[in-house]
Amino acid sequence: MSSRKGQKDAARVVREQLARERRRKRTLWVSVAAVAVLVVAGLIGWSVYSSQRSDDFTAPTGSNEAGTGVVAGSGPVTVDVYEDFLCPACKQFKQASSPAIDQLVSEGKIRVVYHPVAYLNRYSSTQYSTRSSAASGCAAEGGRYREYARALFDRQPPQGGAGLSDEELVDIAAGVGLDRDGFASCLREGTFKPWTEHVTEEASKANIASTPTILVDGEEIADRSPEGIRAAVQAAGR
């Protein structure tokens, strides 16, 4: 074996080792950079969200103590209604069952808490769920949540569109006897948008996964028909 060939072989081995070492280092740094990118991305998301959140909210007149809903009646049994003004099933529920609920309220049997959650913003191009919920806060401030909510459901826009315009929301308010100018400025200033956010967040915290959800004394009821509600209220009242 000639020493020259030996030297060549040794040089090749060293070169290969150096190349491997370089590759290893490169991989390490690329990986570190990629992980850093992912971590920074996550932190950006968190900080954007934190800056978007508003902790301060004003609940409208007639809200419950926690500011998570608008109260009607003062009966011994509490009925929680979670509704989104863009949700067609909520409209059906409202049209089928609200007379029964209103009657139970006037009979003094129940206390209803309406939670106008903004769950379905992704089904409109203008955040209609948030806008309509904030509008319902303005209506509650004027003492007419139930009338306004009923009217909103009667004129429910289809999912996937722009929803009702602010002018239409004001017109409906005037139609149920609310002061047009006061309502319009409440809506324009977004007075109850933080409240809507609070209502929605608290509903999510309470594991309300879909609308409408009806709780009778804290228990979700499966049968949302007028008869089902009466039966559940009667059972809870015993």
Partner 1 sequence: MIVTAPHSRVARWPAIRPWLGVAVRLGLATVWLVAGGSKVGDLAASGRAVNAYQVMPYDLATVIGAALPFVELALGLLLLLGLATRLSAGVSAALLVVFVAGIVSAWSRGLAIDCGCFGAGGELAAGQTPSYLPEILRDLGFLALAGFLLIWPRTPVSVDGWLAGDASVEDDDE
- Residue ranges binding partner 1 (CB under 8 A): 23-24, 26-27, 30-31, 33-35, 37-38, 40-46, 48-50, 52-53, 87-90, 119-123, 159, 197, 200-201, 204-205, 207, 209-211
Question: CA–CA separation, 189 vs 134, rounded Å?
Answer: 10
Query: Rounded to the nearest whole angstrom, what is the least distance from the CB of residue 164 to partner 1 in the complex?
Result: 17
Nearer to partner 1, 5 or 205 (CB): 205
Question: CA–CA separation, 238 vs 56, rounded Å?
Answer: 39
Transcribe 38-69 into DSSP letters: HHHHHHHHHHHHHHH------PPTTB-TTSSS
- Which uninterrupted H or E stretch holds 215? strand 213-216
Query: Rounded to the nearest whole angstrom, what is the least distance from the CB of residue 204 to partner 1 in the complex?
Result: 4
Nearer to partner 1, 114 or 183 (CB): 114
Query: Rounded to the nearest whole angstrom, what is the least distance from the CB of residue 188 to partner 1 in the complex?
Result: 22
Question: CA–CA separation, 128 vs 71, rounded Å?
Answer: 23
Query: Rounded to the nearest whole angstrom, what is the least distance from the CB of residue 43 to partner 1 in the complex?
Result: 7
Cβ distance 132 to 159 under 8 Å?
A: no
Question: CA–CA separation, 39 vs 28, rounded Å?
Answer: 16
Nearer to partner 1, 11 or 19 (CB): 19
Query: Rounded to the nearest whole angstrom, what is the least distance from the CB of residue 48 to partner 1 in the complex?
Result: 6
Nearer to partner 1, 120 or 236 (CB): 120
